[in-house]
Every structure is written in C-alpha cells, then in structure tokens.
Amino acid sequence: MTDGPWVAVGLGNPGDRYASTRHNIGRMVVERLAAEHAQRFKANRRARCDVAEIRVERERCVLAVPHSYMNESGGPVAGVLGYFHAEPDRLIVVQDEIDLPFGALRVKFGGGDNGHNGLKSIRRSLRTGDWYRIRVGVGRGRGDTADHVLAAFARHEAAPLEELVDRSVEAVTSLIESGLEVTQNRFNS
C-alpha cells in the first residue's frame, strides 16, 4: 500500500432529479458517512467534486461526489486522486450493482467494469482497474436497465434502503480500519 489519504467516491448523477434513484446509492453512502462525522461537502473545482474530509481510526479519508454524470466519472475521480496525492490502491468506489439483489453487498479489489458506465470511465481515466469497490445491490428490475437504475426507490423499499446505506457505510469504514479480507468476510453476503 502507498501513503496518502484514502479516497471514497460515491458514484451517481448530480441534481435533485436523480438524488433518490438507484444509480445514486453510491452518493447516498458517501453523503451518510460525511453526515455521521458531522462534515459538510465543499466544492473543489480542480477535482471537479464536492469533497469532505474525515478520520477513520488514524487514517485520513477524503469523501468525494463527482460533479459529473455517472458515465463521465473518470475525470473527477482522477482529479480528486491527483489533488489529494492519493494512488488508485487507496481508492474506494461505492457503486450501484444491478447484478446483485436489492440489499446485497460485495466488497472487492480490482476486476472488470461489468458494463457499468461509471466504472468504465474511471478505468479509462486511471488506466487501471486496481481499486476497491463496494458494490451495492439494487437488483435488475423487469424492464429497461437504464429506466430501472434511474428510477427512485419504491416506498416499500425505504426501510431496507436505510439499512443498506448504513451497512455500506460500515463496509467503507471496515475496509479502511480492517482491510479487505476482514471486510469481505463480514459483508459479502
């Protein structure tokens, strides 16, 4: 592992229109983590992200939400890593995952993009896939995939969604505090 802060990026789309959609669950997780540490996001123009800084144990962690749409996440992710002098092996990307049922979590290091446009963009910008991912299950839905991920969570999903966001926050924290293996054993259900 390299020195420098951890950087946890919550993927999603900007604006109120997308705030409560499945595609924005990564943003929801990172925003909840900032709120739990009583930190507010501030715009960082050079990184093209809103950022907040927290401490997890003794580790410095930069929380970031890109100003861009999901499919253009790579530039802001590279920007925030560069601005804070962090390497990709200290990056945690929190993302929605349609190939996991709603409520499931998977934590991993590296891998492909599995058709996820946000991950494709990050891989292109960083020229590597070697970073941590917290894959948050939103299910596949019955119709068009884009319609599904851009739809708001249903009313009956509200309570399970709160629990899922809380568990995802715990997974980010565990990854920083305890490492990959411990976190996978705890959260990869």
Domains plus CATH for the chain? 6-187 (3.40.50.1470)
Answer whether residue 76 shows pLDDT above 70: yes
Active-site pick, 23, 67, 116, 148: 23
Neighbouring residues of 183: CB distance < 8 A, sequence distance ≥ 6: 107, 171, 174, 175
* Contact (Cβ atoms closer than 8 angstroms) between residue 175 and residue 93: no
The confidence score (pLDDT) of residue 141 equals 80
Answer whether residue 183 shows pLDDT above 80: yes
Distances (CA, A) of 163 to 61, 84, 90, 158: 23, 31, 26, 9
The confidence score (pLDDT) of residue 2 equals 59
Query: Is the pTM of the predicted complex or chain greater than 0.85?
Result: yes
* 23 is known as an active-site residue: yes
